Amino acid sequence: MANQVVLGIDIGGTNTAFGLVDRLGNIIVETSIPTNNQQNEVQFFERLFPAIEEMLLKHEDSDLIGIGIGAPNANYYSGTVEKAPNLNWSGVVPISKIVEEHFHVPVKITNDANAAALGEMLFGTAKGMKDFIVITLGTGLGSGIVCNGQLLYGHDGFAGEVGHIIVIPNGRDCGCGRKGCLEAYASATGIKRTVSELLCNSQQPSLLRELTYNEITSKMIFEAAIQHDAIAEEAFQITGEILGRALANAIAFTSPEAIILFGGLALSGETIRIPTQKAMDEYTLNIFHGKTKLLISKMQKANTAVLGASALIWQEHVSQ
Amino acid sequence: MANQVVLGIDIGGTNTAFGLVDRLGNIIVETSIPTNNQQNEVQFFERLFPAIEEMLLKHEDSDLIGIGIGAPNANYYSGTVEKAPNLNWSGVVPISKIVEEHFHVPVKITNDANAAALGEMLFGTAKGMKDFIVITLGTGLGSGIVCNGQLLYGHDGFAGEVGHIIVIPNGRDCGCGRKGCLEAYASATGIKRTVSELLCNSQQPSLLRELTYNEITSKMIFEAAIQHDAIAEEAFQITGEILGRALANAIAFTSPEAIILFGGLALSGETIRIPTQKAMDEYTLNIFHGKTKLLISKMQKANTAVLGASALIWQEHVSQ
């Protein structure tokens, strides 16, 4: 029997990464093409398919058993991407159908946070867990909620929008058109906005006063905090406080064994984990106290998204 | 084959109701004994078991296939009740084991809100639904969350404590020892506290000014609202606003097809549903807009708890 592999594809706003993943979560080969957000989906697939075929040809000894795709606004149930932000695609693109008709293997899709959660369960930090939440702290805040070993999709396929629970009524503008959503505070962008707020409200000197709003990144804020920059340190405290309080509420919903932080801002490790844990402990209901671990993902490499996408197929083949 | 029945038991702080339920959700017989919260669990079961045996003897033609129990702080996984509020029981009571050893049939337990959710799914308002939330608006606020046809228990058996998400930081004292929990505002007790707040803050005349705090019930507030009592009407507006905002956040977690209101305060029907729906619609994230129904339970009779408890066993026998 040939070596079984799954093709994992991660469609991002800038790049689309794809690779072949075996049943143990080893990435055999991986590459990427620019997504090119000027193009429509037809032009995109016309570039993507030959690149995939070239990869498959070089690994003819492998047996492709399915394709898993992580994409913005992807719906697991319908196999479609609806109004993908940052892409110049049609309103509703039936990705699963398009890819299935080309490659003749089962295709499953979901959004990137859900794919990350599946990746963590099969190959990463959540291995062996049945109840956990993955929080991705990138440009926005995404979440993948796993209960009883199953990813939560909800009745419409879009469950797990923890980034859009309102934490500060009438708070900061959010990209969703409302105000005060968690992701406007707890994300790579959120902490940058907090720095901006502190630069105006506080008089403390800071390295960050030398940079424009557009120049500042969460990585720079982390590096400044390491050097005990007062503004950067306070920004992490505030971000952790707001995130921790929200996670205490998340625990009241699904009582997970662990909450796993993932993505750009999570690369700051203990600097974000410690203030978050403090607030989470403070606000968690008594009966849940000390039961839920707050962890930083061990899967922080660039290819995690491909691994997570492949998990959409592997979850049906790998016994827990 | 004899007619199969399940014994449903609902252990409340005041009374313990129990009855025989058939596969269609018909209650064949039902009765109750006082729980007597001065007694310990041994004394309680010494009274309960003979009463059940007497009932079974009168229905010898029925085949008892299991016993489902709803009880405060009941843990589905361990079969125990831990630190039951309002009961003079030991710290951890292994209810399932005690009852199983006496009656020699499978025993399952859970808390009353979870039992209500199962009852709604098998026999009530949520028949045919796979993703919904039941909110019980009684003395406190309980919740039973069903995702993908399964009740959410979480890793420790205590998931679904929506009553204890913090909605007003540093708000009203809650029975759990923290401040600002949803149930301190949205419950039969919560609306009474809101009336009390309005009686002091507002100068409007009200029927409710003639009653002591201890005398006022949510039913009286409802009756006053029906008569256009300004304080009572405003109390419903405020309660609905806070509840609706919290439910909008709940939708962002599990994206349910419906949220079903149940229990004492839900008996006020549209008077509580309409302001709740208004706030829920206003605060719900775009992609979920108009997708989640807000319903009042059709199962508002006293015996619903017994029906719900029986559903713990029937769920494994009734095909969806």
User: Of residues B243 and B298, which shows the higher confidence score?
Assistant: B243
Q: How close A242 comes to chain B (CA, Å)?
A: 11
Hey, of B146, B150, B155, B282, which one would you mutate to test binding to chain A, going by the most A CBs within 10 A of its CB?
Answer: B155
B159, B245, B287 ranked by CB distance to A255: nearest: B159
Determine which helix (DSSP H) or strand (DSSP E) holds A293, and give its type and residue range.
strand A293-296
Q: What is the mean pLDDT of chain B?
A: 93
pLDDT, position B302:
59
Report whether pLDDT(B318) > 70: no
pLDDT band per the 50, 70, 90 thresholds, residue A101: very high
pLDDT, position B319:
52
Query: How does strand B141-147 pair with strand B293-296?
Result: unpaired
Q: Mean per-residue pLDDT for A144-158?
A: 95
- pLDDT tens digits for range A175-184: 889 999 999 9
Residue of B nearest to A179 (CA): B283
SS3 content of chain A, % helix, strand, coil (to 5): 40, 25, 35
Report whether pLDDT(A159) > 70: yes
Question: Tokens standing for A310?
Answer: 């492949």
pLDDT, position A1:
54
DSSP code at position B61: T
- pLDDT tens digits for range B79-107: 999 887 778 898 899 999 999 999 999 99
List all residues 6 or more positions away from B234 whose beta carbon is below 8 Å from its beta carbon.
B198, B202
A159, A257, A288 ranked by CB distance to B253: nearest: A159
- CA B207, distance to chain mean position in Å, is 29
Question: Tokens standing for B172?
Answer: 């009203």
**Percentage of chain B surpassing pLDDT 70?**
98
Measured CA to CA, the distance from residue B84 to residue B20 in angstroms comes to 25
Cβ–Cβ gap B159/A253 under 8 Å = yes
How far the first Cα of chain A sits from its last, in Å, is 23
What are the Cα distances from residue A88, in Å, to A9, A40, A84, A93?
19, 5, 8, 11
Predicted-complex ipTM score? 0.89
The dihedral formed by the CA atoms of A121, A124, A126 and A132, expressed in degrees to the nearest 10: -70
The dihedral formed by the CA atoms of B84, B90, B93 and B98, expressed in degrees to the nearest 10: -130
**Percentage of chain A surpassing pLDDT 70?**
98
A166, A248, A254 ranked by CB distance to B154: nearest: A254
Measured CA to CA, the distance from residue A84 to residue A153 in angstroms comes to 18
pLDDT, position A139:
86
Q: What is the mean pLDDT of chain A?
A: 93
Establish how many alpha carbons lie within 13 A of residue A141's alpha carbon, considering only the half-sphere containing its beta carbon. Answer: 29
| Phi and psi angles of residue A107, each rounded to the nearest 5 degrees, phi first | -125, 130
pLDDT, position A320:
42
Q: How close A34 comes to chain B (CA, Å)?
A: 28
Q: Residue B46 in 3-state DSSP? A: helix
Q: Mean per-residue pLDDT for B12-37?
A: 91
| Angle at alpha carbon of residue B264, lines to B260 and B265, rounded to 5° | 70
- Chain B residue set in contact with A, beta carbons under 8 Å: 73, 129-131, 145, 147-148, 150, 152-162, 164-166, 169, 176-178, 245, 248-250, 252-257, 283, 285-288, 291
pTM, entire model: 0.91
Beta carbons within 10 angstroms of residue B317's beta carbon: 12
pLDDT band per the 50, 70, 90 thresholds, residue A318: low
Report whether pLDDT(A103) > 50: yes
Q: Residue B50 in 3-state DSSP? A: helix
CATH number for B127-296 (one of 3.40.50.170, 3.30.420.40, 3.10.20.30, 3.90.1640.10): it is 3.30.420.40
Residue A221, judged by CB atoms within 10 A of its CB (0-12, 13-18, 19+), counts as buried
Q: Mean per-residue pLDDT for B180-198?
A: 96
Per the CB < 8 A criterion, the answer to whether A313 and A67 are in contact is yes
Q: How close B234 comes to chain A (CA, Å)?
A: 20
Lowest-confidence range among B113-122, B162-171, B311-320?
A: B311-320
- pLDDT tens digits for range A194-220: 999 999 999 999 999 999 999 999 999
pLDDT, position A302:
58
CATH T-level topology, domain B3-118+303-314: Nucleotidyltransferase; domain 5 (3.30.420)
In DSSP terms, which residues pair with B306 in a beta bridge? none
pLDDT band per the 50, 70, 90 thresholds, residue A87: confident
A157, A165, A256 ranked by CB distance to B154: nearest: A256
pLDDT band per the 50, 70, 90 thresholds, residue B249: very high
B176, B255, B283 ranked by CB distance to A158: nearest: B255
List all residues 6 or more positions away from A228 whose beta carbon is below 8 Å from its beta carbon.
none
- pLDDT tens digits for range B252-289: 999 999 999 998 899 999 999 999 999 999 999 988 99
Give domain limits for chain B. 3-118+303-314, 127-296
Cβ–Cβ gap A154/B131 under 8 Å = yes
Hey, of A253, A260, A283, A288, which one would you mutate to test binding to chain B, going by the most B CBs within 10 A of its CB?
Answer: A253
Residue of B nearest to A289 (CA): B156
Cβ–Cβ gap B253/A248 under 8 Å = no
In this chain, the answer to whether the domains covering A3-118+303-314 and A128-296 adopt an identical fold is: yes
Question: Tokens standing for B284?
Answer: 């719900």
Size of interface A-B (CB pairs under 8 A): 130
Per the CB < 8 A criterion, the answer to whether B154 and A148 are in contact is no
Cβ–Cβ gap A178/B147 under 8 Å = no
Q: Residue B133: what residue type?
A: I
Q: Kindly report the CATH class assigned to A128-296.
A: alpha beta
Per the CB < 8 A criterion, the answer to whether A152 and A146 are in contact is yes
DSSP code at position B72: T
In DSSP terms, which residues pair with A27 in a beta bridge? A21
Question: Tokens standing for B6?
Answer: 């399940």
Q: Left, alpha or beta for A26 (phi > 0: left; psi -120 to 50: alpha)?
A: beta
